[in-house]
């Protein structure tokens, strides 16, 4: 048997040409030749895009909505500062007034950051400031009460 593409002699029962690698025609039982499966066709949808544009024209890992979301990181940081201010204000109110001072400073810093971005003040930051002030005022009143009580106690001790 000879290869129809290159004409090289092939061994009996070969399905591919040993010289060029093209498929060989094989004789079927009916006496005809089986040419094998038809060659693959091109994908008819290969160059069509149903969306009208190439969605992967740019790097697919870039932000598909542009740079609109890039400024939100500063707002997120200000929001974290506002939450920290609220937590410090609550801890200062119930535990230690010194933490209330941190609540005031974090709240003021969060409100300044939000104001610089043109956003309204955060309720959490304002609550942290108010709770920090209340904790300091309560601590001052507590110290004054303790001082008055201590002086009254010392005055009541007979010498």
Look up residue 79 and give its two tokens.
Answer: 């929001």
pLDDT tops 70 at residue 85: yes
Query: What pLDDT is stored for residue 98 in this prediction?
Result: 86
Look up residue 61 and give its two tokens.
Answer: 């890992």
List of residues 6+ apart from 127 with CB closer than 8 A: 85, 86, 89, 107
In whole angstroms, what is the distance from residue 110 CA to residue 88 CA?
13
In whole angstroms, what is the distance from residue 67 CA to residue 65 CA?
7
Report the predicted TM-score, pTM, of the whole model to 2 decimal places. 0.49
Q: Write the pLDDT tens digit of every residue in 61-71.
A: 655 555 555 55
Strand partners, 16: 23
As a whole number, the mean pLDDT across the chain is 77
């Amino acid at each position: 048997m000879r290869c129809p593409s290159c004409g090289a002699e092939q061994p009996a029962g070969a399905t591919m040409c040993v010289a060029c690698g093209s498929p060989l025609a094989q004789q079927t039982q009916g006496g005809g030749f089986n040419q094998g499966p038809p060659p693959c066709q091109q994908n008819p949808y290969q160059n069509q895009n149903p969306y009208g544009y190439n969605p992967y024209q740019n790097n697919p890992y870039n932000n598909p909505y542009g740079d609109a979301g890039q400024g939100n990181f500063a707002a997120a940081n200000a929001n974290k500062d506002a939450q920290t201010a609220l937590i410090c204000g609550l801890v200062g109110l119930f535990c230690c007034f010194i933490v209330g001072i941190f609540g005031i400073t974090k709240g003021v810093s969060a409100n300044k950051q939000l104001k610089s971005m043109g956003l309204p003040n955060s309720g959490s930051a304002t609550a942290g400031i108010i709770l920090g002030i209340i904790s300091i005022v309560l601590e001052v009143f507590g110290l004054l009460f303790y001082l008055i009580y201590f002086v009254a106690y010392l005055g009541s001790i007979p010498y």
